[in-house]
């Protein structure tokens, strides 16, 4: 697939056909994804493929209350877990359906991705607002896994719910000291191919010189 097609067509897939993914194929996906960038090229990633049904179900089940909270906050008309007003309501209906959790045994591959915090320069860790920069050394790698899967006719989704229950799954995963869980990735052959992703146009988010500057458009080329 041409690079622009790959970028424009790699959407989130949450339901998969029965086609399995061998360890060799998964190895090849990770072998491409490892070329992702990271701060200082320190490549802080560790990956565990959750093949054992017990391990997989313990880890994924632990995220269910997070999912229930997520749905409840969304139904309240708010952005879940945002740092301004993202707390869950006091009463939350439990055990909401979620195909990734309810039928996790049918997902061909579940990956737990962790980062070695000793290998990450957390540039804005002392900021008065929510720190963001540390994630930039691990999430490009996660995205590269999804792109490498997509290139092979596979697909999947990145989820971060597990970060809220990291302590409760640390032992079952033998999460090493000084490591943080970054994501669970679900991979397989998508049941449906997404033909068109819904994204905002460039002119809605890119401006010249300042964030309140003129919109960057493609109809008035400027000299450098
Ligand atoms: C940081 C992050 C967290 C996400 N968490 C979840 C999740 O917990 N569950 C889920 O089903 N999708 C999750 N997604 C997938 C997004 O919902 C998806 O990328 C977005 O809705 C765009 O979907 P599309 O590519 O199919 O248009 C996450 C994506 C990102 C980047």
pLDDT for the residue 221 = 58
Q: Which residues of the chain have pLDDT under 50?
A: none
14 Cα–ligand 1 center, Å: 10
Distances (CA, A) of 69 to 51, 63, 81: 27, 10, 9
Overall fold of domain 3-193? NADH Oxidase (3.40.109)
What ranges do the domains of the chain cover? Answer: 3-193
| Model confidence pLDDT, tens digit, residues 99-119 | 999 999 999 999 999 999 999
215 Cα–ligand 1 center, Å: 27
CB 80 within 8 A of CB 74: yes
Nearest protein Cα to ligand 1, atom 7: 159
| pTM of the predicted model as reported, rounded to 2 decimal places | 0.96
CA dihedral 67, 70, 72, 74 (to 10 degrees): -140
What is the three-class DSSP state of 83?
A: coil
């Amino acid at each position: 697939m041409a690079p622009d097609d790959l970028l424009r067509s790699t959407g989130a897939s949450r339901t998969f056909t029965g086609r399995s993914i061998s360890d060799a194929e998964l190895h090849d996906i990770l072998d491409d994804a490892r070329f992702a960038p990271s701060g200082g090229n320190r490549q802080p990633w560790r990956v565990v493929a959750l093949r054992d049904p017990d391990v997989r179900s313990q880890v994924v089940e632990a995220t269910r209350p997070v999912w229930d909270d997520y749905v409840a906050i969304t139904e309240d008309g708010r952005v879940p877990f945002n740092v301004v007003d993202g707390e869950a309501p006091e009463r939350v209906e439990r055990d909401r359906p979620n195909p990734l959790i309810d039928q996790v045994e049918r997902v061909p591959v579940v990956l737990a991705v962790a980062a070695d915090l000793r290998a990450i320069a957390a540039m804005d860790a002392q900021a008065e607002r929510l720190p963001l920069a540390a994630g930039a050394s691990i999430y490009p790698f996660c995205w590269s896994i999804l792109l490498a899967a997509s290139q092979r006719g596979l697909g999947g989704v990145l989820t971060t719910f597990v970060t809220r229950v990291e302590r409760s799954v640390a032992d079952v995963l033998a999460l090493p000291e000084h490591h943080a869980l970054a994501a669970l990735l679900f991979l397989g052959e998508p049941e449906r191919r997404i033909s068109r992703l819904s994204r905002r146009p460039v002119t809605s988010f890119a401006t010249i010189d300042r964030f309140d500057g003129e919109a960057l458009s493609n109809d008035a080329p400027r000299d450098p």
